[in-house]
Amino acid sequence: MTAEHEHGAEDHVARNYDHIADRYAVHFCDELERKAFDRLMLDWLVDRTRSGTLCDLGCGPGHVAAYLARRASSVVGIDISPRMVAGARGRYRGITFQQGNMLDLDGVLEATFAGISCFYSIVHLRRDQLRDAFREMHRVLTPQGWLLLAFHVGEERCHVREFLGRTVDLDFQFFLPGEICKALEKAGFTVREALLREPYAGAEVETQRSYIWAQRA
Ligand SMILES: C[S@@+](CC[C@H](N)C(=O)[O-])C[C@H]1O[C@@H](n2cnc3c(N)ncnc32)[C@H](O)[C@@H]1O
């Protein structure tokens, strides 16, 4: 695989996740069992939205969507990687999974979702793509709808050549909570809470995590 810049960057990310989709599922599908804080955040999302459809954006193997679906009436998972989507469909029957790019959710109508969870999926965006991603999330949320974002805290962009024992070519972008809050407000959101947690030692990559709650104004 070769690095691609500017054009086709999202296709490039998708191909990389296609390449590791099966291993990613084996490694991460049960991770919520070890992550009490993440479960609490997802429980809040269900409590805060009560009715309406939830979307797990950048759903990967589908485990977050499956957690939500056990508590909410209607859940959709969206991911840019066709193999991630195919794996999620096979694993969690009864939940709708579809391919889509968070920068342009073509075919998703305005005000479709009461809530969006987006766990570690903005990590492949460049800073200058946040505006398009957040505008699109704002568009597809209902008025007063909730967005829950999770990401790694920092300023760096890390290039990764090997992931889960396979060769990849992926950049991981870290963000500061303040810059994310600003970008969300610019896209029309009202930021309600910005939370931090330390990593679960031994259970995940040792980075500080941020969870931001924003509401469509
Ligand atoms: C680090 S994984 C996180 C997956 C899952 N949310 C989790 O918590 O394990 C990032 C996921 O985001 C997806 N992704 C990356 N860029 C995307 C985009 N522009 N639109 C939709 N999904 C994207 C990838 O295909 C991958 O499944």
User: How high is the pLDDT of residue 217?
Assistant: 84
Residue 2, domain member (yes or no): no
Residue 49, domain member (yes or no): yes
Residue 44, domain member (yes or no): yes
Q: Cα separation of 49 and 146, whole Å?
A: 7
Q: Cα separation of 108 and 104, whole Å?
A: 9
Residue 39, domain member (yes or no): yes
For 60-93, the pLDDT digits (tens) are 999 999 999 999 999 999 999 999 999 999 999 9
Q: Is any atom of ligand 1 closer than 6 Å to the C-beta of 101?
A: yes
Cα(60) to ligand 1 centroid in Å equals: 5
User: How high is the pLDDT of residue 1?
Assistant: 36
Residue 3, domain member (yes or no): no
User: How high is the pLDDT of residue 5?
Assistant: 45
Residue nearest to atom 26 of ligand 1 (CA): 60
- pLDDT over 90 percentage in the chain: 93
Which whole number is the average pLDDT over 117-135?
97
Q: Cα separation of 46 and 164, whole Å?
A: 31
Cα(8) to ligand 1 centroid in Å equals: 16
Q: Cα separation of 153 and 30, whole Å?
A: 23
Provide the domain limits for residue 153: 9-216
Q: What is the CATH number of the domain that holds 148?
A: 3.40.50.150
Give the chain's domain count: 1
Residue 162, domain member (yes or no): yes
Q: Which two tokens stand for residue 173?
A: 């972008």
Residue nearest to atom 4 of ligand 1 (CA): 60
Cα(94) to ligand 1 centroid in Å equals: 21
For 92-124, the pLDDT digits (tens) are 999 999 999 999 999 999 999 999 999 999 999
Residue 1, domain member (yes or no): no
Q: For residue 117, which atom of ligand 1 is closest to its CA?
A: 6
For 19-53, the pLDDT digits (tens) are 999 999 999 999 999 999 999 999 999 999 988 99
